[in-house]
Amino acid sequence: MNQELLEIQKTVQNLEISLAEKEAQVALLSTDLRYSQESVASLLSQLKSQKEKYKAVYHELRIERQARKRGVDRQTLLEQQINLLKLAEISGLKEAKNSSLAINALKGENQSLQSELSQCLSLWRGRLQETQEKFHMAHLMLKQSSKAISQLKKARDHADIRQKHATKTAREKFIKETKLHKLMHKGVYTEDTCNLVRLLVKAGCSRQYVNQVIVAVLKSAGIEAVGTVSKSTITRIIKEGFFAAQIQLGYEMENAESMTFSADGTSHRSINYNSRHVNLIAEDYSGENAEQQHVTRFLGIQSSLDGIAKSLSMTGKRL
């Protein structure tokens, strides 16, 4: 039983170690998830700033478009004026000369406005394309971060499921094993079984009913007993306990520095009985720490010889 308990404790320790490893993995996954969330927040802020820049560029582009439209309107107005001047060319050479000068000036101004407008359009088109590229890259990074977050969440959920399954399996195995009590281990009765048998016999239980008492007590506790203890086995266990007690007493008397013997006697139906004890300092085997203390050991009860038996023995020798 002790070995089974040790195996169960080892299994529980292994499960606790596995649980600690899983918790460490969950902590690492949580850290990665936090870092990914921070990266996503940073990307979102960058995306927001790029959107604001895009709005500003778009606003400036609209302004440039409006300016170009005004330039086109002005160019149309100038063309109308040119047409009017062409119609008025017949009125006189002087007026025609002045009109041609004005037309040339207007054409020069129109060309300068067109070149300036084309430069502005090319500049803002380049900025718009750059902004769109940045927006596309931010969108891809956001998509990758979302995918990584989803994978981390799945890994965390899977780790939780495996941890719960392992804990449930270990608990069911432990409960299943604790519902069985094996009286024997590898064909030999365990020390706990032998101690229980001696305790029952010492308490006054008949050797014929020791096995039934063990089975009934374990059954009342919800535990199934595996194996049986026969009457001859009980006798052998008691003898082994007696020999072990004698060996233990001899060991304690050998290691004791001093000891005190005591005896007491009584009679029953004209037969004298003597009870003997020894007092010495020995270890306490009931606790975890083997401390030295004063103990009293029982040496047994024996019948003593009386005067009649002695005289009969002497008479027998003379005969």
The CATH number covering residue 92 comes to 1.10.287.2610
187 and 221 both lie in a single domain: yes
Cα-Cα-Cα-Cα dihedral sign, residues 197, 200, 204, 208: negative
90 and 144 both lie in a single domain: yes
The confidence score (pLDDT) of residue 90 equals: 59
157 and 199 both lie in a single domain: no
Higher pLDDT, 309 or 257: 257
Long-range Cβ contacts of 59-66 (<8 Å, 24+ apart): 60/124, 61/124, 61/128, 64/117, 64/120, 64/121, 64/124
Q: What's the mean pLDDT in 119-145? A: 85
Work out the mean pLDDT of the chain and round it to a whole number. 80
146 and 215 both lie in a single domain: no
53 and 117 both lie in a single domain: yes
184 and 299 both lie in a single domain: no
Q: Is the pLDDT of residue 316 over 80?
A: no
140 and 173 both lie in a single domain: yes
- Confidence at 97, pLDDT banded by 50, 70, 90: low
Among 177, 208, 234, where does a domain finish? 177
Residue identified by tokens 């001859």 is 232
167 and 208 both lie in a single domain: no
29 and 165 both lie in a single domain: yes
120 and 240 both lie in a single domain: no
Q: Are the beta carbons of 299 and 277 closer than 8 angstroms?
A: yes
Query: Which value, to the nearest 10 degrees, does the dihedral of the CA atoms of residues 272, 278, 283, 285 take?
Result: 10
**Residue 285, domain extent:** 258-319
Among 209, 225, 255, where does a domain finish? 255
- Confidence at 271, pLDDT banded by 50, 70, 90: confident
The confidence score (pLDDT) of residue 91 equals: 64
205 and 170 both lie in a single domain: no
Least confident of 11-15, 93-97, 100-104, 285-289: 93-97
Residue 195: alpha-carbon gap to chain centroid: 39
* Distances from the Cα of 312 to the Cα of 204, 272, 302, 317, angstroms: 39, 17, 20, 9
pTM confidence score: 0.39
Q: Is the pLDDT of residue 34 over 60?
A: yes
Residues 6+ apart with CB under 8 A from 182: 1, 4, 190, 226, 227
Residue 166: alpha-carbon gap to chain centroid: 10
Higher pLDDT, 2 or 250: 250
Chain segment 194-232, per-residue pLDDT in tens: 888 888 888 888 888 888 888 888 888 878 888 888 889
147 and 220 both lie in a single domain: no
The confidence score (pLDDT) of residue 2 equals: 66
The confidence score (pLDDT) of residue 313 equals: 40
Residue identified by tokens 């086109």 is 72
- The strand pair at 184-185 and 271-283 is best described as unpaired
> In angstroms, rounded to a whole number, what is the distance separating the alpha carbons of residues 257 and 262?
17
The confidence score (pLDDT) of residue 253 equals: 87
Share of the chain above pLDDT 90, in %: 1
Among 177, 202, 232, where does a domain finish? 177
Q: Are the beta carbons of 166 and 209 closer than 8 angstroms?
A: no
Q: Which of 249, 267, 279, 258 is nearest to 304 (CA)?
A: 267
Q: What's the mean pLDDT in 234-244? A: 88
Q: Is the pLDDT of residue 78 over 70?
A: yes
The confidence score (pLDDT) of residue 312 equals: 41
Least confident of 55-59, 103-107, 195-199, 212-216: 103-107
- Confidence at 108, pLDDT banded by 50, 70, 90: confident
The confidence score (pLDDT) of residue 57 equals: 83
The confidence score (pLDDT) of residue 82 equals: 79
- Confidence at 319, pLDDT banded by 50, 70, 90: very low
Q: Are the beta carbons of 167 and 15 closer than 8 angstroms?
A: yes
Phi, psi angle pair for 302, to nearest 5°? -135, 150
Number of domains in the chain: 3
